[in-house]
Structure 1
């Protein structure tokens, strides 16, 4: 039904899932959405501020963009494989996206408002319009969509800041009333009250006004991933190692300063925006090629391999993270919302992810796919598929 998987991509996918969990912990555990992800707004002690800044530099906007890159890459590889074997491959891809959309709707409305699957599914339909484009066209389009709006909006925010200095200070976005409401609802509200609040949070982010920003944050990385997936470069990692190292270093040189600058001074919103819009994707590219190259060394491949089990079950683990964390922090679970500072949520994320590594390995010793992935594949191909493991799943690069 499908060609063997590329182990390195699952390892990178697993790595991205840990980074996503680190970032999402802020919204799981306290009013991160209402405080606009700004260090020192809710938790004011020194350790918490440093922890939040480190997450802001090395994780925020770096990992959902990495996952977006992998989504575009995986989708294009799937299209390449399906086109050669399935006459109506576009119908199959559309079914795949519709199922992903259904997963996202259930996740966003019944588990946690910070869902990304709905955005991926909807933008995936737009990605289909580019399935015949060359890697060069995909790459140029991606860079234009990322850089031009990002730079223009940065200068617009700079102009606003010059005209009204206090308007450029992102701390003004803090909504104290919204924070108090979130604390009350998630700490002691009923499931019905939490559902209503969750719906409002989702609409706060996913609306017509924010749609262009969601588009330029995610879709360019879809295109960059698709460009790599459409080329044959992943089958020539050893031969192209020098080129990949060059791309990795350029991404680091661009991305790291853009991520550090906003947290160095007064966190002016224009620099925060530039750091997330351009710095985040650059760091995602750096992470991708750094891990890809490390995996070519047997020592590091052995160390990183356990991440691949998590990556093979990426949707299952992503949804499970939300279930576990909401049960820990919301009133229908342990009710710890607003009680644990950033350093503790980082440690908790490490514990949860370690458990996922162990359980994923245990599951995949018997089964080919995670449970959600199995359902997704059956509905995608519209036929019953075996879930028991009966053959090797990986191919070598």
Structure 2
């Protein structure tokens, strides 16, 4: 979720916005399948619908679960590079400003959490701080740090301890207990119960889940990869960059197949459940990232095709207003599915959830398209921009885009 730093006339920013639009659309659809973290499978549905539910659930989660989040993380780092680079060219140090900007994002995330406990803005606001000490390092050092983080060193520490230290005990899973406590207020609570519960119980459920699944290492790594993509100007349409994305697509596809296969069959070939859990976290993360590269590479290459471009450019308004869309998704989704609203979690499986998600996507896309006819940015994007540059007198204020 970030405001744009380039002119709308640049093909570079168009493909970035369209790609961000794809990610926010995918997140919208997955959240609707999950009832915004209120998991419930209605028993009254016909068996044919239940079978269709499973097909839809498995397909969408295969395509987008963990991948759309990874795209956002990549673009978060890319956007930081653009803003930092623009200010460096003007002789300004963006780092202090970036800390303030992240503080604002944290507050946005806190408000968003009142509606949806799975908010990622607060985590981005905290983990984004890692970009400050690495932003002036040479690219090769940034790449080394990013690759190290992407290996998920904590999980390998757990893995080797389980393998060679019989007295080693894995840290207890804490997110499951918090998620269990969430259902008390999700089932019966008022909006105020939801808001308080999300900020306390639900927030910690999300934090511990992210920690237990390697997101605290994966996200900073992707931020840095995004920064490197910005330095190399890889989103600029050119023959050399097209060749890069073709190679990325090929290599990522080749890597994805064995990683995904190993992850899939691991529980059947390894008896030790603790070993399985550690390896699953590692290989699920790698599987998601490699498939994310497949998606990004395919998207960038297809964007150069005139016939496909006409369709993909429709996502640009959605991507330009990704912060606004992400925020309003939480408000709409909580009202639609939670007990204090319509309570549709009781009646909808994956099929109906997908249909609701598509309708919400089309409504949001229509709103974004209409809004941007008379505004440069979405409402929250504009607010974030204005607050970012509020009351700092010495630095030259950039032109809003």
Which bracket does the TM-score occupy, shorter chain normalised?
A: 0.7 to 0.9
User: CA contact under 8 A between 1:10 and 1:307: conserved in structure 2?
Assistant: yes
Q: TM-score, normalised by structure 1?
A: 0.82
Name 2:339's counterpart in structure 1. 331
Alpha-carbon offset, residue 83 of structure 1: 1.1
Q: Are the equivalent residues in 2 in contact too, given 1:101–1:122 (CA < 8 A)?
A: yes
The range that moved more, 133-142 or 291-300, is 133-142
Q: Note closer, same or farther for the CA distance 1:264–1:325 as it changes in structure 2 (3 Å cut).
A: farther
Contact kept in structure 2, 1:135 and 1:226, CA below 8 Å: no
Q: Is the 8 A contact 2:336 2:342 kept in 1?
A: yes
Distance across 2 between alignment mates of 1:367 and 1:51: 37
Residue 184 and residue 94 in structure 1: after superposition, are their counterparts in 2 closer, same or farther (change >3 A)? closer
1:28-67 to 2 correspondence within 5 Å? 28-29=35-36, 31-32=38-39, 45-67=50-72
Give the equivalent residue in structure 1 for 2:284. 276
- Alpha-carbon distance, 1:250 to partner: 1.3
Name the structure 2 match of 1:302: 310
Tell me what 1:133 maps to: 137
Give the drift of 1:45. Answer: 4.1
- Tell me whether 1:213 sits opposite 2:214 in the alignment: yes
Alignment partner of 1:18 out of 21, 25, 35: 25
Give CA deviations for 1:75-133 in whole Å, capped at 9, x if unaligned: 1111111111252422222221111111011112x111101011111111111111112
Alpha-carbon distance, 1:383 to partner: 6.3
The alpha-carbon deviation at position 273 of structure 1 amounts to 1.9
Give the structure-2-normalised TM-score.
0.81
CA displacement at 1:191 relative to structure 2: 2.0
Q: Does 1:118 align with 2:122?
A: yes
Contact 1:315 1:373 in 2 (8 A): yes
- Evaluate the alpha carbon distance shift between residue 274 and residue 86 of structure 1 in structure 2; reply closer, same or farther with a 3 A threshold: same
Shift of the 392–106 alpha-carbon distance from structure 1 to 2, 3 Å rule, reads: closer
Cα distance in 2 for residues equivalent to 1:48 and 1:370: 34
In the other structure, the counterpart of 1:106 is 111
Contact 1:30 1:338 in 2 (8 A): no
How far apart are 1:283 and its partner, in Å? 1.4
Aligned-partner Cα distance in 2 for 1:339–1:175: 25
| Map of 1:230 onto structure 2 | 231
Q: Deviations over 1:169-218 (max 9, x none)?
A: xxx99969965x65553243112322343220211232599279331121
The equivalences for 1:68-217 within 5 A come to 68-108=73-113, 110-147=114-151, 149=153, 152=156, 155=159, 159=163, 182-183=182-183, 185-198=185-198, 199-207=200-208, 210=211, 213-217=214-218
Correspondent of 2:297 among 289, 299, 309: 289
Deviation at 1:276, TM superposition (A): 2.7
SS in structure 2 at match of 1:133: coil
Match of 2:348 in 1: 340
For residue 270 of structure 1, report the CA deviation from its aligned partner.
4.8
Correspondence list, 1:248-287, <5 A: 248-259=249-260, 262=263, 269-270=277-278, 272-287=280-295
Structure 2 residue ranges without an equivalent (≥5): 42-48, 269-275, 393-398
Alignment coverage as a number of residue pairs: 370
The 2-side partners of 1:261 and 1:58 are apart by 18
| Range that drifts further, 309-318 or 85-94 | 85-94
Distance 1:8 1:379, change over 3 A: same
Deviations 1:132-154 (A, max 9, x none): 12332222321221125287268
Between 1:252-261 and 1:312-321, the stretch displaced more is 252-261
CA distance in 1, matches of 2:390, 2:155: 44
